[in-house]
Amino acid sequence: MLDTMSAKNLLSLDGRVAIVTGSTRGIGLAVARKFAGYGASLIICGRAEQLPDEIMFGFRDPSRVTYVSCDLGAAGSAERIVAAANDTHGRLDILVNNAGIQPPGDLQSSNDEEWRSVLEVNVVAAAALMRCAAAAMTHGGSIINIASSRSTRPGMGMAAYSASKSALLNLTQSAAVELGPLGARVNAVSPGLVNRPGLVESWPEGVKRFSDSAPLGRIGEPEEIANACLFLAGDAASWITGTNLAVDGGITLVR
């Protein structure tokens, strides 16, 4: 059995450089904070022009965190984000494609423009970041794509979102095949419903429906997704690639 010390070493990200997209709040911020807590230097990104001080100073060592403001739907964003890792740290080890959008819309009411914007951020930007990151991962690396329980279990009113996350899962497998020989592992994490400020108050029926169905009887917390990402990012997952880790309280077993 692993002793505590070796288990800690397996999870350590000391000396590693990680990009986490969409890391100004929610799951992405929890992942970035988790990685920083385990020793990584970070490139964090979001759409805001400037990162609010309270977010930057929430990191134990803000000097190891660089913020890049970007719209992932715009050309050249992936190149700029990866260049920030190279320019600041001279290397890149981990990429988490977390940024995603979920506009409501069923098949019958959505239009082409809405479909394009979802696919642009959730799939095309993720592909561009993987392409740029792979070229920068000269020491090998780990790429994690945040998909969704909706990747495999679509629901009402989220056709474009579900299709985009399903594409992201398939893309994860293609990238794992292509980048494995170059030393990069590529995996997906598929969250179920995850808590955010105001969720329980604004959507009590959705939270109740999920909690009543899920085998573990509750929604998830951002830190629980971050824990799964920490495992996949580091040496504990050294022989794991192309997999989809469901972190969803068991919801995909029952619906």
Residues that bind ligand NAD (CB under 6 A): 22, 24-28, 46-47, 70-73, 98-102, 121, 146, 148, 191, 193-194, 196
In the bound complex, what is the minimum distance in angstroms from residue 222's beta carbon to ligand NAD?
7
Closest CA to 94 of 231, 219, 220, 242: 231
* Catalytic status, residue 161: yes
Measured from the CB atom, the residue of 29 and 179 that comes closer to ligand NAD is 29
Give the distance, in angstroms, between the CA of residue 113 and the centroid of all CA atoms in the same chain: 24
Could you tell me if 245 and 185 are in contact, meaning their C-beta atoms sit under 8 angstroms apart? no
Of the pair 100, 234, the CB lying nearest ligand NAD is at: 100
In whole angstroms, the minimum distance from the beta carbon of 120 to ligand NAD comes to 8
Task: Give the nearer residue to ligand NAD in terms of CB position, either 180 or 204.
Answer: 204
What is the nearest approach in angstroms of ligand NAD to the Cβ of residue 115? 15
Q: Which of 161, 163, 187, 241 is catalytic?
A: 161
Sheet with strand 184-191: strands edge to edge: 65-69, 41-46, 17-20, 94-97, 141-146, 184-191, 244-247
What's the token pair of residue 132? Answer: 């740029």
Under 8 Å between Cβ of 85 and 91: yes
Active site residues: 161
